[in-house]
Structure 1
Amino acid sequence: MHVILDDTLDRWIRETAPGGDLTCWTLGLDEQPGTTTFKAREEMMVCGSEEVARVFEKCGAKARVHIPSGQMAQTNETLVTAEGPVGALHIAWKVSINILEYASGIASRTRRFLIAAQQGAAKVRIAATCKTFPGTRELSAKAVWAGGGMLHRLGLSETVLVFDHHTAFFPSFDDLIRLVPDWKSRACERKFIVEAASLDEAEALACAGVDGIQFDKLSPDQLAINVQRLRDLRPELLLIAAGGVTEHNAAELAATGVDVLATSAIYFGKPADISASIQPLRS
């Protein structure tokens, strides 16, 4: 499972309490011993519990992970516990509840999305786009993996993905087709994927040697026709459906025979419902 690096956790702690917890300091509670418990209020796919434990350690408390990322939690199950000075617990709690709720929400949506899609095709993959809110990419990526998904691409540096706002700069589609072999040689260790505007374009791209074709916002019926024609032409070609892909149409789109459903929908929705309590440490 992906590990979020210390500099990210340090940044999250710093933005939450740049000068410590003023309330605990004012009330004289900073050094009082206490305990913190995070529990699931609903069934969920857990993500972020390892990062939460590290946040508590960084703030001066001791923590224990009860359910790791990538495992299901049932209602009322304990996810993470910690004990230490109350000032440390309050700072870590504020950071940690956001990590757990947002990450587990994405992981749970990813899992539901995958289950829905696999009703249409057992081997289809769910790929999350890189359309995350700025500053949240690492945690969002871990949540997608925890839920059983994959990343369409983590950023612009890892895959050649050609859209119409790239092809608009070439005199014609034929000029673009002629250049595909040269472009592939310039990025020979990377997949070369192009979004096609029509079946004719897709067939020409397949013959030119691209590694994959992406289709945007096609109906399931039209997508199925395109998939069948391209499978006959090049069975190994990677085929991706994108644009408007949701949990509700995932099965129908998957049944067309595409390899991947690319979506940003799993990032947006209700956070997981998690309770957090801070209590005095009883001897």
Structure 2
Amino acid sequence: MLYITDEIIDKIIKEDVPYSDITTEMLGIGEENGTISFYTRSEGVIAGAGLAGKIFTKLGCEILSEVKDGEKLSTGSLILKAKGKAEALHTGWKVSLNTLEYLSGIATLCREMVDIAHSVNQNIILAATRKSMPLSRELVTLAFQAGGVSAHRLGLSETVLIFKQHIEFIGGFDNIERVIKSSNHKMVEKKIILETENMQDSLKALHYDFIDGLQLDKLSPDEIKNIVKERNSINPKMLILAAGGINKGNIKEYAASEADVIVSSAFFHALPLDIKAVIERKK
């Protein structure tokens, strides 16, 4: 379970209500009692139900019904129902709806891609990149988890991932071993992953005993399959990650390459799941 702090909840609410809901105030309906219910308009995997529940709880509402993140619902299914004062219901309405639609859209695409990949390779892991909008990483990570996708790398402090942009500053690919082995910053508990962009560098790197994995960027499924075959005979413990341009349309071919992990940014381009909110007055 991903821990969402009260600070994040407060920021979500405060962004939409910087001072007060002047429409509810003008109409004088704030103290009226009511309920709000969220329903799916199309089939999808839900993410953000718990978050929406926390928003309404923070606003003083009582949660009457709430599905778990990761549940796949059919059209017309109830996601969340809460009761409270009209002021609170209207304050939480749009921020909860937007959050549910956006996160559930991501979770739905994640699950679709996982299902396609597992249809040809049950052991492969899908991982999402960190190409999210700034300040949204906790929320999109919640969506990935709901859809069955792992986080590839949540931040620069998590994994040593060496790109060509790093190699530019050490004098070239052939200097990687010298620089890593002479470094004073030993990553005892961190994996070291090297990204390669061609067959020559990839095959050479299979012999490196100072890295834990290879991230193959924009190589074809056939090229990756050949590298995996070489890996199995040269260095079976080395992790092989396939990355670069992998999406719902081609993930099946990449999963069949027998890489250990597929890294993708396609999840961020998911369409929001269509969800409706119904607010009703209760006497």
Range class of TM-score, shorter chain: over 0.9
Pairwise CA distance, 1:172: 3.0
Q: Which moved more, 1:265-274 or 1:59-68?
A: 59-68
1:192 equivalent to 2:192? Answer yes
Aligned residue type for 1:181: K
CA-CA distance at 1:198 after TM superposition: 2.6
> 5 Å matches for 1:194-213?
194-209=194-209, 210-213=211-214
The secondary structure found in structure 2 opposite 1:179 is helix
Match of 2:276 in 1: 275
Once the 2 structures are TM-superposed, how far is the Cα of residue 144 of structure 1 from its aligned partner?
A: 0.2
Distance 2:185 2:136 in 1: 33
Change over 3 Å in CA distance of 1:253–1:88 after alignment to 2: same
**Farther off after superposition, 95-104 or 177-186:** 177-186
The residue number in structure 2 matching 1:170 is: 170
Q: In percent, how many aligned pairs have the same letter?
A: 37
- Measure the CA separation in 2 of the matches of 1:58 and 1:140: 21
Query: Contact (CA 8 Å) 1:48, 1:143: kept in 2 or not?
Result: yes
> Partners of 2:19 and 2:89 in 1: how far apart?
15
Q: TM-score, normalised by structure 1?
A: 0.96
Q: Bigger shift: 213-222 or 144-153?
A: 213-222
CA distances 1:168-205 after superposition (whole Å, capped 9, x unpaired) = 11223222122333459611111100001333322333
Q: Which moved more, 1:64-73 or 1:115-124?
A: 64-73
Please tell me whether the aligned partners of residues 117 and 247 of structure 1 are also in contact (alpha carbons under 8 angstroms).
Answer: no
Which letter maps to 1:256? Answer: S
Superposed, 1:121-270 pairs within 5 Å as: 121-183=121-183, 186-209=186-209, 210-270=211-271
Gaps of 5+ in 2: none
Q: Which runs of 5+ in 1 are unaligned?
A: none
* Letter matched to residue 8 of structure 1: I
CA distance in 2, matches of 1:264, 1:183: 31
Q: Is the 8 A contact 1:106 1:267 kept in 2?
A: yes
Q: CA deviation at 1:127?
A: 0.2
Cα separation, 2, equivalents of 1:82 and 1:183: 56
Instruction: Please state how far the C-alpha of 1:130 moved relative to its aligned partner.
Output: 0.4
Q: What is the alpha-carbon distance in structure 1 between the residues aligned to residue 118 and residue 28 of structure 2?
A: 55
Alignment of 1:71-86 (within 5 A): 71-86=71-86
For residue 49 of structure 1, report the CA deviation from its aligned partner.
0.8
CA-CA distance at 1:117 after TM superposition? 1.1
Q: Could you say if the C-alpha distance between residues 42 and 9 of structure 1 is closer, same or farther in structure 2, counting changes exceeding 3 Å?
A: same
Following the alignment from structure 1 to structure 2, what is the Cα–Cα distance between the partners of residues 183 and 155?
21
State the match for 1:29 in structure 2.
Answer: 29
SS at match of 2:207: helix
How many residues are matched? 282
User: Where does residue 66 of structure 2 map in the other structure?
Assistant: 66
Structure 1 match to 2:51: 51
Matched letter for residue 265 of structure 2:
S
Q: Aligned AA for 2:227? A: N
Q: Distance in 1 between matches of 2:77 and 2:42?
A: 9
Shift of the alpha carbon at 1:34? 0.9
Contact 1:56 1:88 in 2 (8 A): yes
SS of the residue aligned with 1:122?
coil
1:273 positional shift: 0.8
Deviations 1:95-144 (A, max 9, x none): 10011111111111100010111122111111000000112111100100
Q: 1:243 to 1:130 in 2, by over 3 A?
A: same
Letter of the 1:261 counterpart = I
More displaced, 126-135 or 170-179?
Answer: 170-179
Cα deviation 1:189-245 (Å, max 9, x = unaligned): 111000013333223333222100011111112221122112221112110111100
Cα distance between partner residues in 1 of 2:75 and 2:188: 48
- Name the SS for the 2:64 alignment partner: strand
Q: How many angstroms apart in 2 are the aligned matches of 1:189 and 1:110? A: 29
Partner Cα distance (1:232, 1:257) in 2: 14
